[in-house]
Structure 1
Amino acid sequence: MSAPTRTDAGPDPVASDLIGSGAEGGLGDQVQAWLQRVRGGEMGALPAIGGLVVLCVLFSLLSRFFLTERNFANLFNQAAPLVMLGMALVFVLLLGEIDLSAGVTGGNAMAIFVVFAANGVPWPLALLAGFVFGIAIGALIGFFVARIGIPSFVVTLGLFLGLQGLALIIIGEGGLYRIDVPELRALQNGNLPVWGGWAMLAIMIGISAATSFWDRARRTRAGVPNRPISLVWIKLGVIAVLGGVVVYFLNLDRGQSINVVQGVPIIVPVTLLILWLGTFMLDRTRFGRYIYAIGGNAEAARRAGIKVRWVKWWAFVICSGLSVVAALFSVTRVGSVDATVGRDIVLSGVAAAVVGGVSLFGGRGRLIHAAIGALVIAVITNGLGLLGLTSGINLMVTGGVLILAATVDALSRLRGNGIRT
């Protein structure tokens, strides 16, 4: 006797049905779930975004120069090194670790680059030597932290002090090397053509759409419910509107003479590309999932078969490598390298990540959070500078914002664990 067959089964769903299934609930359900997570302490970058809006409104009222075309473009150039260093530190902060030497690692890499280039080495090879140095420092930190078991705070603090001495040896006290490579100077001083900014925005929307639908297709094949398709269209709409406003203002003429200066700064698409690659790594690869798992509970991750040591090792390598990129952004902005490069920026990088919503306790945060936090600090620095306030006030305000962000992080963790404060 043949096995019974179902007669009430409908036709198999086609791909388009699955892509828009919304099996995790409708848009209203998603909003309610998000509000519940916020009430539970998972605020992410929400405080930083709110602070960024408030600061922009405040400084625009206090200074008529804040929202000018010239200052608007200057903000992106000013924030780029801090954005990059903040993103670099996210990889180790997610593990519950820290790298206090990231800034001076990048500074020494730039010192090696300019000294080699000044002595006849072709600049691509000289720059490669700088990156090799940065990656080697990251591997060294990873060895001491992951293999020997020395706390990352101690290892990187020692390197923070030692690498400053190495920079003095490489460049010499009072030494200064100019960067005369046009291709590198263009990073912080060049602009895309007007059409290039709109092309960049179109590519961003296309990549975001492709990534979103690819994710949905993967979830469908794995039998995992999808969120409503309306969230994808909302995200793409936000990117299109905000990106369009930014590109429009950056394409306005901001020259102060007969020369026309307009277009999106070249540093913007370079930073966005690295942000996308890093986010893809953390969100959509096994290595990224391992980082979050270790940051959440390293012992549970080890028992689950994750090679904790190797993940930590590679996280420090990535952090040091990106710190070299941050230093490159910094020195191409000023056009020179001396022995002090990177000494002051590392703490601001940690502040950027924490202010943006990356947890100091590990396991929570994203690269975009560090970028938003860096923009907050850049707006504070830029706005206070336009008001003619001293750097001391700037440091005090930034320190206060960092303490506030760390407090919010600690309280949100207690609230998320069900502990009343």
Structure 2
Amino acid sequence: MTTTTTSNAGVQVVKPTVASHLHDYWGRVRGGDIGSLPAILGLIVLCLIFGIARPTFFSAVNFANLFSQGAAVIFIAMGLVFVLLLGEIDLSAGFASGVCGAVMAILLTNHGWHWSSAIPTALVTGLVIGFVLGFLVSKIGIPSFVVTLAAFLAFQGILLVLLSGGKNISIRDTFVLSLANRNMSVVVSWTIAIAAVAVYAGLQFAKVRGRAVRGLVTEPMGIVLARIAALAVLLLAAVAVLTTERSINPLISGSVKGVPIVAPIIAVFLILWTFVLGRTTYGRHVYAVGGNKEAARRAGIPVDRIRISVFVIGSFMASIGGIIAASRANSVDPNSGGSNVLLYAVGAAVIGGTSLFGGKGRVLDAVIGGAVIAVIDNGMGLMGYSAGTKFVVTGLILLLAASVDALSRRRAAATGNR
């Protein structure tokens, strides 16, 4: 059921009811448009399982640890979302992050650079890597699997060269170390959280008003208010937990409370890339090329430039992941960015809801999927499971996510919602 009103400009505005909005959403879900719903439900179930099995899982200390554990993977996964949206793959993102982290560490420790110069140099390194990969894929025509597999192997060698055959370089810069290991003050934590809710509410109301003025269909106010309330509850509850004292003995070891610094950094990039994909011409072009490259080319979209750009963004975000990983470890070594980093990053994007077939996905998927992987790794660690068991469980969940993606696409094609 919908209602129709007339705006001040004399334009009839269609206003769906909450019931009709929910009915339409359920229809999209049944038609195969499930988005991140499975990942969110899975995240809730996993948290309940681990929380019941190990009550310490819900402690403030462990909650804060989840941010530092999952941050590097989430940043890399954010960049991979752009690559996956085009149906491409970047197998080198893990070791690319290691190379960028090593560049920063070498400049800081061996050459005495200030962080304000070392970090931008590492970021530029990521941009250059992305441009080279994108150029080889789009202009030379080499499949992304081959290009990035070659880069995956080459970057391992570059790391060994940069680290003189296998040295471990410690990082002592306090600013860099604070990125993944320090917390904001209680006052700043609450101020940012309240401001974030207020800004989000203002944007939601402005969106509804703007669509109403133009005579477009608007969401029911009940849905808008529910969305704002949900964000407020989640955000303020998280801050309430994180601003409690987490130190066992504050008088001896010092007070530990506040939101981890890495959390707002994740939020900033989530907002930035969500805006880019959802509100800009570039974002529409990315989805268009991912949906049908030839149709996009005939529509006048610069396909090659779009393909290069997603690899640039992917490697840029990998460089941020490498910086955060180096900060958390307080050092870099020849295995930085290796091991399970790439697999977890790809898994985070896919588990969160980004399609391996291209054309469907959001940056939020990387954050949700990264949270799922961090919870699995953290929860199973608390329960005493081996690394092998963690890999098996994570692999099965990734396989399940890919299966859900394939089945939802088949369902969407059958119902005409493709």
* Equivalent position amino acid for 1:254 in 2: R
* Equivalent position amino acid for 2:229 in 1: G
Task: State the 1:212 CA deviation.
Answer: 2.4
Partner-residue secondary structure (3-state), 2:120: helix
Out of 311, 315, 321, the position equivalent to 1:316 is: 311
Instruction: State percent identity of aligned pairs.
Output: 41
Structure 2 residue aligned with 1:235: 227
Q: Distance in 2 between matches of 1:60 and 1:220?
A: 44
* 1:380-411, Cα deviation, whole Å (9 max, x unpaired): 00011111111111111111110110011001
Structure 2 residue aligned with 1:372: 368
Structure 2 residue aligned with 1:186: 178
Partner-residue secondary structure (3-state), 1:84: helix
Matched residues, number: 407
2:391 maps to 1:399: no
Q: In 2, are the aligned partners of 1:105 and 1:320 still within 8 Å (CA)?
A: yes
Task: State the 1:419 CA deviation.
Answer: 7.8
Q: Distance in 2 between matches of 1:292 and 1:322?
A: 19
Q: Distance in 2 between matches of 1:341 and 1:102?
A: 11
* Equivalent position amino acid for 1:26 in 2: T
2:164 maps to 1:172: yes
Task: State the 1:12 CA deviation.
Answer: 7.4
Partner-residue secondary structure (3-state), 2:131: helix
Q: In 2, are the aligned partners of 1:250 and 1:262 still within 8 Å (CA)?
A: yes
Out of 78, 94, 100, the position equivalent to 2:69 is: 78
Structure 1 residue aligned with 2:48: 57
Task: State the 1:222 CA deviation.
Answer: 5.1
Q: In 2, are the aligned partners of 1:22 and 1:228 still within 8 Å (CA)?
A: no
Q: Distance in 2 between matches of 1:341 and 1:240?
A: 37
Structure 2 residue aligned with 1:338: 333
Task: State the 1:223 CA deviation.
Answer: 4.6
Structure 2 residue aligned with 1:14: 8
Give runs of aligned pairs for residues 258-407 of structure 1, distance below 5 A. Answer: 258=250, 259-344=254-339, 345-407=341-403
Task: State the 1:72 CA deviation.
Answer: 1.1
Q: In 1, are the aligned partners of 2:88 and 2:358 still within 8 Å (CA)?
A: yes
Partner-residue secondary structure (3-state), 2:153: helix
Task: State the 1:174 CA deviation.
Answer: 2.8
* Equivalent position amino acid for 1:354 in 2: V
Out of 100, 113, 116, the position equivalent to 1:109 is: 100
Give runs of aligned pairs for residues 88-237 of structure 1, distance below 5 A. Answer: 88-117=79-108, 118-220=110-212, 223-237=215-229
* Equivalent position amino acid for 1:271 in 2: I
Q: Distance in 2 between matches of 1:77 and 1:119?
A: 27
Normalising by structure 2, what TM-score? 0.93
Q: Distance in 2 between matches of 1:12 and 1:28?
A: 21
In the superposition, relative to structure 1, how do residues 179 and 245 fare at CA in structure 2: closer, same or farther (>3 Å)?
A: same
Task: State the 1:257 CA deviation.
Answer: 1.7
Q: In 2, are the aligned partners of 1:100 and 1:156 still within 8 Å (CA)?
A: yes
Task: State the 1:218 CA deviation.
Answer: 4.7
Structure 2 residue aligned with 1:411: 407
Out of 246, 260, 270, the position equivalent to 1:254 is: 246
Q: Distance in 2 between matches of 1:404 and 1:67?
A: 26
Specify every segment of 5 or more residues in structure 2 that has no aligned partner in the other structure, as ranges: none
In the superposition, relative to structure 1, how do residues 121 and 251 fare at CA in structure 2: closer, same or farther (>3 Å)?
A: closer
Partner-residue secondary structure (3-state), 1:23: strand
**Structure 1 residue runs of 4+, over 6 Å off?**
none
Q: Distance in 1 between matches of 2:169 and 2:378?
A: 27
Task: State the 1:360 CA deviation.
Answer: 0.5
Q: In 2, are the aligned partners of 1:22 and 1:229 still within 8 Å (CA)?
A: no
Task: State the 1:121 CA deviation.
Answer: 2.8
* Equivalent position amino acid for 1:165 in 2: G
Q: Distance in 2 between matches of 1:113 and 1:321?
A: 14
Q: Distance in 1 between matches of 2:232 and 2:415?
A: 41
* 1:35-58, Cα deviation, whole Å (9 max, x unpaired): 011111111111111111111111
Q: Aligned Cα RMSD in Å?
A: 1.9
Task: State the 1:24 CA deviation.
Answer: 5.4
Q: Distance in 1 between matches of 2:302 and 2:203?
A: 28
Specify every segment of 5 or more residues in structure 1 that has no aligned partner in the other structure, as ranges: 1-10
2:14 maps to 1:23: yes
Q: In 2, are the aligned partners of 1:81 and 1:329 still within 8 Å (CA)?
A: yes
